[in-house]
Amino acid sequence: MIRFAVMASAAMLVAGHALAIEECQGGNRAARKLTCVVDGDTIWQNGVKMRMLDIDTPETFGAACGNEREIGEAAKKRLIVLMSQGYRIDNSGEKDRTSDRRDLVRVILKDGRDAGRVLISEGLAQKWPNKGNRWCE
């Protein structure tokens, strides 16, 4: 029993270890097995593109207005900081409806909080589904 507890503790330390998460750069992310942040609600984890469940963040590419782009950049930077402190991915097993067919996931932070809910509470995201572009109203 003690051996199992020690092994479980070691696994949690590895899983919760702080990582240098970066903004995604360059192509071939799947082949390079990258782990990086695209924007406030899209990440790559070991070469798999993922979309966070139940949130929507402002666009950083193709933003409809300056405010959307600014808040989108802030959301992306905040997600990088949050994930760099340690996280795990809870994959729902579902895919989104885009042509990318991204895995739908929750990013659970080292302290147990859902990263998407943190972004919502800080005004950097909104609940999904949503209507309209509140960032440019």
Q: How far apart are CA 93 and CA 62, in angstroms?
A: 29
At 17 the pLDDT is 52
At 9 the pLDDT is 33
Please calculate the CA angle 97-48-106 and round it to the nearest 5 degrees: 70
Q: Where are the alpha helices (DSSP H) in 1-132?
A: 2-16, 66-84, 115-121
**Interval 9-46: pLDDT, tens:** 333 333 445 578 999 999 999 999 999 999 999 999 99
Q: Identify which has the larger pLDDT, 7 or 56.
A: 56
At 18 the pLDDT is 59
Task: With H, G, I as helix, E, B as strand and everything else as coil, classify residue 42.
Answer: strand
**Interval 49-64: pLDDT, tens:** 999 999 999 999 999 9
DSSP secondary structure string for all residues of 86-118 = -EEEEEEEEE-SSTT-PEEEEEEETTS-BHHHH
| Start-to-end Cα distance in the chain | 58
**Interval 91-131: pLDDT, tens:** 999 999 888 899 999 999 999 999 999 999 999 999 998 88
Residue 4, pLDDT above cutoff 80: no
At 10 the pLDDT is 32
C-alpha torsion 79→80→82→88, nearest 10: 90
